[in-house]
Amino acid sequence: MALESENFEDIRSSVRALCADFPGEYWRKLDADKAYPTEFVKTMTESGFLGALIPEEYDGSGLGLSAATAILEEIHKSGCNAAACHAQMYTMGTVLRHGSDAQKSGYLPKIASGELRLQAFGVTEPSSGTDATRIKTTAVKDGDEYVVNGQKVWTSRIEHSDLMLLLARTSPREENEKRHQGMSVFLFDIRGAIDNGLTIRPIATMINHATTEVFFDDLRIPANSLIGEEGSGFKYILDGMNAERILISSECIGDARWFVEKASSYARDRSVFGRPIGQNQGVQFPIAKAYAATEAADLMVKKAALMFDAGEPCGAEANMAKMLAADASWQAADMCLQTHGGFGFAEEYDVERKFRETRLYQIAPISTNLILSYIAEHVLGLPRSY
Ligand SMILES: Cc1cc2nc3c(=O)[nH]c(=O)nc-3n(C[C@H](O)[C@H](O)[C@H](O)COP(=O)(O)OP(=O)(O)OC[C@H]3O[C@@H](n4cnc5c(N)ncnc54)[C@H](O)[C@@H]3O)c2cc1C
């Protein structure tokens, strides 16, 4: 495939202009207060950028994934963090692809306008970890309701969401021929559910991520919360993963570019031993290496996004993009901290904050090992390792 990716310069400059109102001080204050970036998310919602992937017939912008990657990359390149709102952009994909007409027309226009926030996505559980086929949360049909019991962990942004997309077991693992069968996806309104079967407990973390653990105790949700067919939910979640991985890769690329720019600028200005530190090859080579790694990873992100937009299978490319971009951002983060010497540890430079934030991508939404396992098994034909 030719890599004739559009650069979306109009989108990029609009996003940059919006982000200019949210400088380092804004994020530092939120970090210190462990507060959610409400104003930033409001601005992004009102700009319509979070509805980029929703088709025009549902009042979204009807853009492709390549355009959406430009939005997220630019947010991160500006020093901001899209983690507080990126789920609003792509969690709706499960509804769009597998929801009924009533669910699509009922939810999507409101998600596009921001009237409904779909920011919460509950898959991970404490005891099953990456092996999502072993989740224990159950949803049992009872008349025109499902009764949900169990626990999720790392459910981010749920305190700032109106809706939740939930993966739960509707029949036991042992009763299904294949381990991924018997799980279902639900989309439900959490506003009436809190303290009515749904309990949320924030988790203190090394980054300001509004993440929580969630407990379901006989939570009753309407039967029409079910998306698609009962028992096919795991497949629906997998269907959304390529898009998520490609979008997150673009955040990594944005972070990497921010680190490279920040380090280059500091290395030009900071003078020690009577000359700019950037004149030393020991300082400039790691910056140049991080730059080259970022550009290479970006090619894979662009390729994956183009393939996704063309409707081609892109599991391998989406996974490689996520791994290469996360590695590039982490390499750039480490380089940037080193370039700043002791000042890299001072909060006012924002380097330590971005350093902490970008470390997450080695683990979430999928850890590097699992990507390597995917490539080994599905691309190289090696035996499955787990
Ligand atoms: C800040 C944050 C926000 C998150 N937000 C959400 C969210 O909104 N919704 C949600 O559902 N989840 C969310 N997650 C969960 C995230 O997707 C998981 O943490 C991630 O998938 C890894 O799962 P785990 O933490 O259970 O690690 P584990 O599965 O326990 O793995 C631990 C380590 O072992 C390695 N490992 C495990 N199995 C293998 C294997 N077979 N081969 C090689 N290595 C292996 C992993 O790579 C990892 O390094 C979030 C996590 C964090 C930290």
Asked if the model's pLDDT at residue 174 lies above 70, the reply is: yes
The closest-lying atom of ligand 1 relative to the alpha carbon of residue 157 is: 8
What percent of the chain has pLDDT above 90? Answer: 97
Give the tens place of pLDDT for each residue, 179-231: 899 999 999 999 989 989 999 999 999 999 999 999 999 999 999 999 999 99
Q: Answer yes or no: CATH 3.40.50.2300 is held by domain 235-379.
A: no
- Calculate how far, in angstroms, residue 372's C-alpha sits from the geometric centre of ligand 1: 14
d(CA 150, CA 162): 20
Please choose from 157, 363, 368, 384 the residue to mutate so as to test ligand 1's pocket, defined by most ligand atoms within 8 A of CB. Answer: 363
Q: Do domains 118-231 and 235-379 have the same CATH topology?
A: no
Atom 7 of ligand 1, nearest CA residue: 155
- The closest residue, in CA terms, to atom 44 on ligand 1 is 369
- Determine which residue's CA is closest to atom 24 belonging to ligand 1: 129
Q: Report the candidate in 49, 39, 65, 51 with the shortest Cα–Cα distance to residue 15.
A: 49
Instruction: Give distance in angstroms: CA of 115 to centre of ligand 1.
Output: 31
- Place domain 118-231 in its CATH homologous superfamily: Butyryl-CoA Dehydrogenase, subunit A, domain 2 (2.40.110.10)
Q: Which atom of ligand 1 is nearest to the CA of 365?
A: 17
pLDDT band at 5 (very low <50, low <70, confident <90, very high): confident
> Which pLDDT tens digit goes with each residue over 275-284?
999 999 999 9
Residue whose CA lies nearest to ligand 1 atom number 38? 130
Q: Write out residues with Cβ below 6 Å of ligand 1.
A: 121-124, 129-130, 154-156, 205, 209, 211, 360, 363-367, 369-370, 373, 385-386
Ligand 1 atom closest to Cα of residue 205 = 1
Average pLDDT over residues 60-89: 98
Main-chain dihedrals φ then ψ at residue 139, nearest 5 degrees: -130, 115
Residue 127 has pLDDT above 80, yes or no: yes
CA of 53 to the centre of ligand 1 (A): 26
* Mean local confidence (pLDDT), 158-187: 96
Give the residue with greater pLDDT, 229 vs 1. 229
* Cα 358 to ligand 1 centre (Å): 15
What is the CA(247)–ligand 1 centre distance, in A?
A: 18
CATH topology of domain 9-113: Butyryl-Coa Dehydrogenase, subunit A; domain 1 (1.10.540)
SS3 for the chain, per residue? CCCCCCCCHHHHHHHHHHHCCCCHHHHHHHHHHCCCCHHHHHHHHHHCHHHCCCCHHHCCCCCCHHHHHHHHHHHHHCCCCHHHCHHHHHCCHHHHHHCCHHHHHHHHHHHHHCCCCEEEEECCCCCCCCCHHHCCCEEEEECCEEEEEEEEEEEECHHHCCEEEEEEECCCHHHCCCCCCCEEEEEEECCCCECCCEEEEECCCCCCCCEEEEEEEEEEEEHHHEECCCCEHHHHHHHHHHHHHHHHHHHHHHHHHHHHHHHHHHHHHCEECCEEHHHCHHHHHHHHHHHHHHHHHHHHHHHHHHHHHCCCCCHHHHHHHHHHHHHHHHHHHHHHHHHCHHHHHCHHHCHHHHHHHHHHHHCCCCCHHHHHHHHHHHHCCCCCCC
Instruction: Give the whole-angstrom CA distance, residue 201 versus residue 12.
Output: 36
Read off the pLDDT of each residue in 4-11 and give the average, rounded to a whole number. Answer: 88
pLDDT at site 3: 57
Over the stretch 352-363, which tens digit does the pLDDT of each residue have?
Answer: 999 999 999 999
pLDDT reading at 16 higher than 80: yes
Mutate to test the pocket of ligand 1, among 200, 359, 367, 382 (most ligand atoms within 8 A of CB): 367
Residue 354 pLDDT:
98
pLDDT of residue 369: 97
Q: Domain locations in the chain?
A: 9-113, 118-231, 235-379
> Which residue minimizes the CA distance to atom 30 of ligand 1?
129
Name which residue sits closest to atom 43 of ligand 1, judged by CA.
369
For residue 189, the CA-to-ligand 1 centroid distance in Å is 26
Ligand 1 atom closest to Cα of residue 372? 43
Q: What pLDDT, on a 0 to 100 scale, did the predictor assign at position 4?
A: 64
User: Counting atoms of ligand 1 from 1, which one is nearest the CA of 87?
Assistant: 8
- pLDDT of 2 strictly over 60: no
Residue length of the chain: 386
